[in-house]
Amino acid sequence: MRKINKSCNLSTEYKTWEESLSIPHEPSYYSSHKYYIDIITQLFHCQDGLCAFTEQRLCPKAYYADHLWDNGRYQGDRPQFRGELDHVNHNRKKDEAWAWDNFLMIDSDVNKKIKGKKDVDPILIPDQDDYDVNRLLVYNTKTNLFTPHPDLTAEETARVNELLTTLGINWRPVITQRKIYLSHYFKSLEFDSTTEVEQFPTAIAMRRIIEDSTEETSFLDTL
């Protein structure tokens, strides 16, 4: 859920082609298109290989390193990944099949079993210019759930709650994976403070803030 800078700075041949298209886009969308791999690898580069919504790792970093592009085309091996190229707002797919601003890579199970063809309220789309996850969400370290920020309006709270379900962020299998990964990650810090964050960075960042705040409060209580 962290903010995504969706710059198409590497797959530039695709982006030039996309910008030349008129609406409705021709051809229609199909996954064997010449620019399909260019699109997904560029998105993984923007998203650091994570699902845009759940932040599960979908693709190893080796498949989207900068040096794998040349002259605006992806030149690396076909990436091994378990996500899907999602048209965020499905109703745009028919006429704007190749619109860069409507693409994100998301977890396959979330897309198949939960999101499907639902359109997404822009309030929780992480590539929006005004997106700020810290204004929208808080993380409960006991339940491993994200919840709407208490400062949101009633209308915003309802919108965010719906999306936490629609986007799989609080889907039970994701919660379980998040809980296990965070437990292992924070345990590993006891032995190696340089342990890299491989997935779920928003949950980790928010847990750090909560724990730092708790430690500071505990220290002040002793004065």
Q: Is residue 46 part of a domain?
A: yes
Q: Is residue 87 part of a domain?
A: yes
Q: How many CB atoms lie within 10 A of CB 8?
A: 21
Q: Is residue 2 part of a domain?
A: no
**Minimal CA–CA distance to 38: which of 9, 2, 60, 3?**
9
Mean pLDDT score of the chain, rounded to an integer? 93
Q: Is residue 152 part of a domain?
A: yes
Q: Is residue 82 part of a domain?
A: yes
Place of tokens 């989207």: 64
Q: Is residue 76 part of a domain?
A: yes
pLDDT tens track for 68-110: 999 999 999 999 999 999 999 999 999 999 999 999 999 999 9
Q: Looking at the predicted structure, is the pLDDT value of residue 215 above 90?
A: no
pLDDT tens track for 164-203: 999 999 999 999 999 999 999 999 999 998 999 999 999 9
User: How far apart are alpha carbons 196 and 26 in whole angstroms?
Assistant: 42
Q: Supply the range of the domain harboring residue 23.
A: 12-172
Q: Is residue 7 part of a domain?
A: no
Helix axis angle, 36-47 to 12-20, nearest 10°: 110
Instruction: Report the number of distinct structural domains present in the chain.
Output: 1
Compute the average pLDDT of residues 136-159: 97
Q: Is residue 211 part of a domain?
A: no
Question: One-letter amino acid identity for 8?
Answer: C
The pLDDT of residue 221 is 54
Q: How many CB atoms lie within 10 A of CB 13?
A: 16
Q: What is the pTM of this model?
A: 0.92
Phi–psi pair at 103, nearest 5 degrees: -105, 140
Spell 22-55 as b/e; 16+ CB within 10 A means b: eeebeeeeeeeeebebbbbbbbbbbbbbbbbbbb
